[in-house]
A and B are shown apart, each in its own frame.
Chain A
Amino acid sequence: GENVEQHPSTLSVQEGDSAVIKCTYSDSASNYFPWYKQELGKGPQLIIDIRSNVGEKKDQRIAVTLNKTAKHFSLHITETQPEDSAVYFCAASTMGAQKLVFGQGTRLTINP
Chain B
Amino acid sequence: DAGITQSPRHKVTETGTPVTLRCHQTENHRYMYWYRQDPGHGLRLIHYSYGVKDTDKGEVSDGYSVSRSKTEDFLLTLESATSSQTSVYFCAISDRDGNYGYTFGSGTRLTVV
Give chain A nearest CB distance to B39 CB in angstroms.
9
Partner of B99, one of A36, A96, A103: A96
- Contacts A6-B42, A43-B1, A102-B42 given; indicate if A97 touches B106 (C-beta within 8 A): no
Partner of A46, one of B43, B90, B102, B107: B102
| Stretch of A12-20, A54-62, A70-78, A87-95 at the chain-chain interface | A87-95
Contact B99 A93 (CB under 8 A): yes
Contact B99 A94 (CB under 8 A): yes
Give chain A nearest CB distance to B71 CB in angstroms.
16
Partner of A104, one of B1, B40, B92, B106: B40
**A36 CA / B92 CA spacing, docked (Å):** 12
Contact B99 A31 (CB under 8 A): yes
**A38 CA / B90 CA spacing, docked (Å):** 12
Contact B99 A97 (CB under 8 A): yes
> For the complex, is B16 an interface residue (Cβ under 8 Å from A)?
no
Contacts of A46 in B (CB 8 A): 101-103
- Contacts A32-B99, A89-B42 given; indicate if A44 touches B31 (C-beta within 8 A): no
Contacts of A95 in B (CB 8 A): 99
Contacts of B74 in A (CB 8 A): none
Instruction: Give 5 pairs: A residue, B residue, CB < 8 Å, sorted on A.
Output: A46-B101, A46-B103, A95-B99, A97-B98, A98-B56
Other than A93-B98, A103-B42, give 7 A-B pairs with Cβ distance below 8 A.
A6-B42, A32-B99, A42-B107, A43-B1, A95-B99, A96-B97, A100-B102
Closest 8 CB pairs of A and B: A43-B104, A99-B98, A104-B42, A102-B43, A93-B98, A46-B101, A100-B98, A98-B97
